[in-house]
Structure 1
Amino acid sequence: MPQRESMAYDVVIVGAGPAGLSAAIRLKQLALAAGREIGVCVLEKGSEVGAHILSGAVVDPIALDELIPDWRELDSPLTVPVTENHHWVLTRKRKFALPHLMMPRFMNNKGTYTLSLGNLCRWLAGQAEALGVEIFPGFAAAEILFNEDGSVKGVATGDMGVARDGTHKPEYQPGMELHAKYTFFAEGVRGHLSKELIRLFGLSEDRQPQIYAIGIKELWDIDPAKHVPGRVIHTQGWPLSDAVGGGFLYHQENGQVSLGFVVGLGYKNPYLSPFEEFQRWKQHPDIRAILEGGRRISYGARAINEGGWQSVPKLVFPGGALIGCSAGFVNVPRIKGSHTAMKSGMLAAEAAFDAISVEREGDALDAYPKALEASWVATELKMVRNAEPALAKFGQLAGTLYAGFDLWVHSLGLTLPWTFKHHPDHEGLWRKDIAPKIDYPKPDGVISFDRLSSVFLSNTNHEEDQPIHLTLKDASVPIDVNLALYDAPEQRYCPAGVYEIVGQEENRPRLQINAQNCVHCKSCDIKDPTQNINWVVPEGGGGPNYPNM
């Protein structure tokens, strides 16, 4: 087997999202100010920076103000300030608007911007490269490398040109090893290497389990007469009853609206389909009225960290750190996490630069979690720590009332002494014999759509002849357990039609995995009731190619 080549850097960063790029920029800024050189490399599994980035998004620029104070003069994509805030409680046919004065002060979107987070990352990448950061899109970090003492040495990218049966195709190229004094893992939600690091180093041993939601999003061109730049709408209530979640609709630039639906993955009914709930939500009269006469132009999905402060793992280990959504810094009530992710990357960068400057390479970056604990990130997340679990604990109505009370108390500078706990999302799924089936309407092809036409709009592409990246620990479980007990819920929680039970008519059922459809949302890795599915990276450059998402 050909030996892998290696390259050495001071810091290697896995993932070109907001956290990873902010860390890279901050490292170079510090080096420039100190008059010294520092080698920084960013690996990105998408075909380009931003290809795999998906968010609402309404961005609080607090971290960007600290990182690049003159961003307003640098042709940044933050051009549409939020001008209106609406919160609707939906029934099947009606909406009830909650007065914004009822919301705690820190929930106000004053000073925020609505935009494509992918475009923000593309812009940040340009700023990073101008400072000398080396960014390698299309290269997936597939393996953690370790030193003899057990500390993290770096990562290796995946081999290219491997056939599905494991043999080497004529174009085979072995992966590259990237060695570093410190490696930052900024893979996003449920990163497969981050998950392994959390297990190996026991980083979550005294923490609450991380919990997640799936967010499904579309981008529409709408009738210009209906477009109000900067208008932000959030909804709760219908069509969900037992599950936690809600919808969003943001009026962005160029006559477009970004809309989507979020469903907490702790739901109980195996017949629930987050994708179908989103399609139903769009048919609400007040949502449909906005979309009618418009045209859907893009689609995507991703998981979202919802555990909050009590689920953030230990952030450092010998040779590296977790930053951004690899650790989980989303402020769920504010529906924002980019600003906290960016700040975490900046703080980790400062700790690493200090350690490298005094030649303490390899030491755990204890200064990073200490700085984060003292930052506005911790203040913000501690304030909202009980809001999401209150919904799971008390239900939508009572949970919303409690969460509102809790948030108001904290917004007044007071503190409640308790912290609610979480339960892993894959636990507690009802058996199919006691779960009520859900009759979802057929898509009309105008407002609501099917999965396959949706995946087409995500521009998802994988080299077909490669090992399937959705791996099973036990190949018998999908039929003997998931189908037998839960009627194969992977057919419904996947928003891309990856999992399909075939052969039932012949009484020879088997699971077919359409891996080429995968939009990398990670829901299967999270929600599978026996945790039998393990998501690993496919060949670099595979997956969705999101424009303006």
Structure 2
Amino acid sequence: MTDMTREAMEYDVVIVGAGPAGLSAAIRLKQLDAECQVVVLEKGSEVGAHILSGAVLDPCGLDALIPDWKEKGAPINTPVREDKFYMLGEGGKVRVPNWPMPPLMNNHGNYIVSMGNVCRWMAEQAEELGVEIFPGMACSEMVYGENGEVKGVVAGEFGRNEDGTPGPSYEPGMELHGKYVFLSEGVRGSLSKEVIGKYDLSKGHEPQKFGLGMKEIWEVDPAKHREGSVTHTMGWPLGSNAGGGSFIYHLENNQVYVGFVVHLNYQNPHLYPYMEFQRFKHHPMVADLLKGGKRVAYGARAITEGGYQSMPKMVAPGVALLGCSVGMVNVPRIKGNHNAMLSGKAAAEAAHEAIKAGRTSDELGDYETEVRTGAIGKDLKKVRNVKPLWSKYGLLASLTVGGFDMWTNTVGFSLLGTLNHGKTDAEATGLAETHKKIDYPKPDGKLSFDRLTNVSFSMTNHEENQPAHLTLKDANVPISVNLPKYAEPAQRYCPAGVYEVVHEEGKEPRFVINFQNCVHCKTCDIKDPSQNIHWVTPQGGDGPNYPNM
């Protein structure tokens, strides 16, 4: 497709992704200059359709952006009223007291929210200010200028056949050019990945680390519901097989968010993160809560966990990376939305000053400085050693040494300096022959469910007659390399059942990609030990349609 066949539209700032970072940037740009031309492009069918988060929200980011959010009707109605942490064994639990934890771990003043609904409300605020928001517009390509700077993006291409050729209703999409482009795609965004690689933005930084978060919404017996209750657990069922834990959040209307996170640096390729989540719900503490209830929604999304030392350079000529495109999650707090909002605000302020000074398509260095030295950097620096301690020495070291390090960082110093992460999550994957297989109980259909049944509760849909958006660099690798070496872990790490190895009598095994199931979590792009799977965006509007995630 040549540039000549596409129309182009000009803006001051083009924003890719209508999450908390992108929408915060759009709102702040319009607050600073009502005449600023801002467009937000969202690949989901509507704003919020692809948003999945816990979420307990620290409102500091929203306070800085829209101080009167309560008066403006933000869907933030459930303050945290109780905050509990447990270590689980297979049949029991031990309550960990709150008092030894540093103050940053306190959830007082925070809110249980649906970030999808918060983003829908933020989009309304942005549109009232004059921001143009286009949902169902997937951005498939970057547009570069003559000097290698980012000039814009290609969005809205529709109608390619399964083999990639233009179909009868093909639309080439259009180019959207900006003086600056903000990439706020969330974790492992395809354009962000391209830009990080093109400009070598990870040079001098630790590799990014990730987790896989899976979440169900349950309607529970009103007698068991405790609005405002927050519970986190560690330990069983993962044990020493992997890092991770769970969350159980009671919001309004007898609804409970039940979630499970598995750190993706696990070694055993036989580990099945989705089934660990399903097994977790059979713990007596959880089963007692859910019995008599009803699961109403399911979803999954990768999480950035590398923290302070893994944030790449955030700017290149004409482009800035925002929120989880960089990786701004505070892992022990299990929070990143506040930092995403603050990053959007900071990027907007840097772009506003640049445009006001007559600059265009250069590096927004002031944005990076603010992120690293301001509130975001301070938030992440305090906890920077928790994840590497957990990865290298296990849960106990993370809780004890990591907890002590968070205390000392609270008063401004660390005896440990800054620890490194080492391997990528893909490189951490061990050989199948050196690890034990794990026997998982069959889902009972009441508390636990098979993957495909649960995927139907994500309301995921993809147009079938289009190229698969899960591409292989080498189609032979899954069977010739990954199967004998790693028992092809894509069959297990995918929380949506996209990947299968099909065995038929008298035939060689086949690797099958059921891309229609994909919930856009990006785990395959991260964890594939051969780094052979490349996630690209399908046509706009496809994917999950999360209601209240």
TM over 0.5: yes
Give how far 1:419 is off.
1.1
Partner residue, 2:456: 456
SS at structure 2 position matched to 1:526: helix
Partner residue, 2:22: 20
SS at structure 2 position matched to 1:102: coil
Contact conserved, 2:385 with 2:402, CA < 8 A, in 1?
yes
RMSD of equivalent CA atoms: 1.0
1:505-516 correspondence runs (5 A): 505-516=505-516
Cα distance between partner residues in 2 of 1:334 and 1:474: 39
For 2:89, the aligned partner's letter is: T
Give how far 1:414 is off.
3.4
Contact conserved, 1:390 with 1:400, CA < 8 A, in 2?
no
Q: TM-score, normalised by structure 2?
A: 0.98
Cα distance between partner residues in 2 of 1:55 and 1:362: 32
Contact conserved, 2:21 with 2:322, CA < 8 A, in 1?
yes
Give how far 1:408 is off.
1.7
Partner residue, 1:147: 145
For 1:270, the aligned partner's letter is: P
SS at structure 1 position matched to 2:349: helix
Give how far 1:254 is off.
1.2
Cα distance between partner residues in 1 of 2:428 and 2:304: 19
SS at structure 1 position matched to 2:540: coil
SS at structure 2 position matched to 1:188: coil
For 2:80, the aligned partner's letter is: V
For 1:547, the aligned partner's letter is: P
Cα distance between partner residues in 2 of 1:69 and 1:399: 36
Q: TM-score, normalised by structure 1?
A: 0.98
Contact conserved, 1:268 with 1:428, CA < 8 A, in 2?
yes
SS at structure 1 position matched to 2:360: coil
Partner residue, 1:74: 72
Give how far 1:399 is off.
2.7
Cα distance between partner residues in 1 of 2:321 and 2:300: 23
Partner residue, 1:323: 322
Partner residue, 1:359: 358
Cα distance between partner residues in 2 of 1:373 and 1:535: 29
Contact conserved, 1:316 with 1:369, CA < 8 A, in 2?
yes
Give how far 1:469 is off.
0.3
Q: 1:435 to 1:504 in 2, by over 3 A?
A: farther
Give how far 1:373 is off.
2.6
Greater Cα offset, 356-365 or 56-65: 356-365
In structure 2, list runs of 5 or more residues that go unmatched. none
1:301-348 deviation digits (Å, cap 9, x = unpaired):
000000000000101100010000000000001000000011011001
Cα distance between partner residues in 1 of 2:52 and 2:452: 19
Q: Does 1:226 align with 2:224?
A: yes
Q: Does 1:177 align with 2:175?
A: yes
Contact conserved, 2:156 with 2:171, CA < 8 A, in 1?
no
Aligned residues: percent identity?
59
Contact conserved, 1:115 with 1:253, CA < 8 A, in 2?
no
1:412-442 deviation digits (Å, cap 9, x = unpaired):
4433351111120001322221210000000
Greater Cα offset, 162-171 or 326-335: 162-171
SS at structure 2 position matched to 1:89: strand
Greater Cα offset, 366-375 or 451-460: 366-375
SS at structure 2 position matched to 1:10: strand
Partner residue, 2:333: 334
Give how far 1:209 is off.
0.2
Q: 1:46 to 1:453 in 2, by over 3 A?
A: same
Greater Cα offset, 170-179 or 145-154: 170-179
Cα distance between partner residues in 2 of 1:389 and 1:428: 13
1:92-117 deviation digits (Å, cap 9, x = unpaired):
00010011112111110011000100
SS at structure 1 position matched to 2:246: strand
Give how far 1:506 is off.
2.9
1:485-514 deviation digits (Å, cap 9, x = unpaired):
111100000000000011343341110000
Give how far 1:168 is off.
2.2
1:521-532 correspondence runs (5 A): 521-532=521-532
Q: Does 1:193 align with 2:195?
A: no
Greater Cα offset, 91-100 or 406-415: 406-415
Partner residue, 1:285: 284
SS at structure 2 position matched to 1:9: strand
Partner residue, 1:8: 10
Cα distance between partner residues in 1 of 2:372 and 2:459: 40
Greater Cα offset, 508-517 or 360-369: 360-369
For 2:316, the aligned partner's letter is: F
Contact conserved, 2:331 with 2:387, CA < 8 A, in 1?
yes
Cα distance between partner residues in 1 of 2:506 and 2:153: 46
